[in-house]
Amino acid sequence: MPVTPDPEDLKLVTLARSARARSGAPEGAAVRDDIGRTYAASTVDLPSLRLTAVQAAVAAALSSGSDRLEAVAVVGETGALADADTAVLADLAVSTVLLADPDGTVRD
């Protein structure tokens, strides 16, 4: 069932959709840190490196100096987070998790 998130959270959905579209990847993700900076990434699938979109976005945030994340948006077809994504978000105590369809519709 679609939900209507906060406008700041909708920006994350837009960033995640853009990251997915640019790369043609199965998923895009965007995260927001505790001071409002955002980071977006898509799935990385190379023979020597595999990252989910969430892992890639979190890595971008952490490697840029963020140490607290407050929200994440994931855009893709699956409708659920991978176990690895759930674990990394738990590590950082991310409080807002949005899952969205490729058209940007946020799911329950």
**From first to last of its 108 residues, what are the pLDDT tens digits of the chain?**
556 778 999 999 999 999 999 999 999 999 999 999 999 999 999 999 999 999 999 999 999 999 999 999 999 998 789 999 999 999 999 999 999 999 999 986
pTM of the model: 0.93
81 vs 8: CA distance, rounded Å = 21
φ, ψ for residue 61, nearest 5 deg: -65, -50
Pairing mode, strands 27-33 and 69-76: antiparallel
Q: Which domains does the chain have, with CATH numbers?
A: 7-100 (3.40.140.10)
